[in-house]
Structure 1
Amino acid sequence: MQEQPAKAVPEITKKDLRAVTLRWLFFNTSAFNWERMQHIAFAWSLLPVLKKLYPGREELGAALKRHMVFFNTEMTIGSPIIGAIAAIERQKAAGEEIADETINAIKSGLMGPFAAIGDSLWASAVNAILLSFAMSMALQGNILGPVIYAIAWIALTWYMMSTGINLGYRLGVDVLDSEFLTPQTIERVTRSLNILGLVVVGALSATFVSLSTPIQWTLQQKATTLQSILDGMMPKFLPLLWVGLVWYLHQFRNWSIMKLLGFTIVVGFVGSLLKIF
């Protein structure tokens, strides 16, 4: 990137970054598609900054076109990417020679590491923990369960996104040099978070997945139940088998969530009629 005589460009304010955060919070997967994934959402979220930096119609159109390329990352932990690109766009608007390919290369270089950490931390751990509280309240008939989950999720996500976008804007292109994004750090953090996510999911499965069998038989005038044998082998053995089956069908057979839900309902209904479950 070669420096050119600086042009006067508007300052990007906290209000502008709040507008970007608000758009990214609610529209991060809008117009999502399998060809370019979050490209439209990224450009739309960055639009308040781009409009300020490029008041001309042609310049604004070129800036939007620049961001209509493939982009996909975890929405919350990956939010610093948007802030960093906003800072780089301001440098470009000020006259620095920054090629479009350079900007897209920065996005491509950042979205993978942030996605690896974000998927492990946010999707697997934080969401699961919040859901555990909400489901526990809902199962007790407390209507505040889903309400508290929605409020807590939005508040926490807003805080993380706002912090990330502002941090990314302050760092700009220097975010690439962060020690947090080294391959060794990402591998260690991702491994640790995956373990945490598995522990959380295991605890949730044991707590909220209920499956037992009433099958019994009499031998030498003594009734024996299959459930007691399974409990002696391993408590919650049937829920573990069911969670393993659902995971297998989703991971290796590409069953959708709706298909798995329907399959669960059918198995439960038929098992109840046959007095198997």
Structure 2
Amino acid sequence: MTEKKLSKKALVKSWKTWMMHNLSSMSFERLESFGFCYSMVPIIEELYKDSKKEKIAALKRHSVFYNTEPQLGAIINGIACGLEEKRANGQKIEDELINGLKVGMMGPVAGIGDSMIPGMLVPILLSIGMGLSANGSIMGPIFYILLYLGIVIPGSYFLFMKGYTLGTDAVKFLVDERAERLKESFSILGVFITGGIAANYVKATTKLSYMDGSVNINIQNILDGIFPNLIPLVIVGLVYYLMTKKKFSSLKVMLALLVLVSIGVVIGVF
């Protein structure tokens, strides 16, 4: 029996399908399962082209509940491709092993991916893009689109192929010391970027003043002399407190700020 080996064409097609369709068929019952299953079609067609029964079984195998962060999650797709290849070559790899590995990895990968992609990368790129567009320049959205795709596409492809090459050993690739250092580096960078954006784009001053004899003393001038941008810092700290400690949603925070500003304007604080 000739050993079956997945072609580069099938692997690339599987990765592209996952990138384009990972969130295209969502439900609370299955979430990303059909996107995952669809991405496995090129693999299944190539490995089991002579067996309709095996094709049906593989499609059912990859249609169970699945959900993770799609970009970093590509490494799980690669691992699944490698396991299917081994199964097609006669190795004893049961459905439970493939699905168990997917279920076992999707949580940790989502934890890392959600903190790195939507949690850090996207806000950092958006904040820089908004800065570039402050004067109406189109460079902001162009910067965001090009840089985001320039990071995510090759990164996802690399992880997919790494998962296929390493197999189950790819788990170590995501949780070893280097991965943790990279995550910490992104966190520190995110803190610096957030601080810079808050200092430059959050504007708030007070109109409060009082008379000392014949001298009108402006409270804002005193604050600027002691601690420039103190009021914006307090507002950012308040937002952080409400969202992290009180678990306010972004909508509730915006409503709270609207109420605060409205009251401040009415009583003459702002």
Moved more, 207-216 or 188-197: 188-197
Normalising by the residue count of structure 2, what TM-score does the alignment of the two structures yield?
0.81
Tell me the percent identity.
33
- Cα deviation for residue 190 of structure 1 reads 4.0
* Other structure's SS at 1:79 match: helix
SS in 1 for 2:206: coil
Indicate if the aligned counterparts of 2:124 and 2:190 stay in contact, CA closer than 8 A: no
Determine the C-alpha separation between the residues in 1 that align with 2:27 and 2:225. 49
How many angstroms apart in 1 are the aligned matches of 2:38 and 2:255? Answer: 36
AA at the equivalent of 1:156 = I
- Show the 5 A alignment for 1:224-263: 224-261=217-254
Q: How does 1:74-153 map to 2 (within 5 A)?
A: 74-153=69-148
Q: Distance in 1 between matches of 2:18 and 2:219?
A: 52
Cα pair 1:20 1:45 within 8 Å, conserved: yes
Instruction: Judge conservation of contact 2:33–2:63 (CA < 8 Å) in 1.
Output: yes
The match for 1:31 is 25
Q: Is the 8 A contact 1:84 1:169 kept in 2?
A: yes
The alignment partner of 2:72 has SS state of coil
Asked if 1 retains the 8 angstrom alpha-carbon contact of 2:34 and 2:63, the reply is: yes
Tell me what 1:64 maps to: 59
Output the aligned Cα RMSD: 3.1
- Once the two structures are TM-superposed, the CA of residue 142 in structure 1 deviates from its matched residue by 0.2
Q: CA deviation at 1:135?
A: 0.7
Give distance in 2, aligned partners of 1:264 and 1:41: 39
The equivalent of 1:3 in structure 2 is: none
**2:79–2:167: 8 Å Cα contact kept in structure 1?**
yes
- Aligned-pair CA distance for 1:228: 3.0
- 1:73 is paired with a residue whose SS is coil
Q: Does 1:181 pair with 2:175? A: yes
State which drifts further: 264-273 or 188-197. Answer: 264-273
Secondary structure of 2:136's counterpart equals coil
CA distance in 2 between partners of 1:83 and 1:110 (Å): 12
8 Å CA contact 2:22–2:35 kept in 1: the answer is yes
Q: Which runs of 5+ in 1 are unaligned?
A: 1-5
SS in 2 for 1:128: helix
Unpaired segments ≥5 residues, structure 2: none
Q: How many residues align?
A: 269
1:151-175 CA distance string (max 9 Å, x none): 2212321111111111211112232
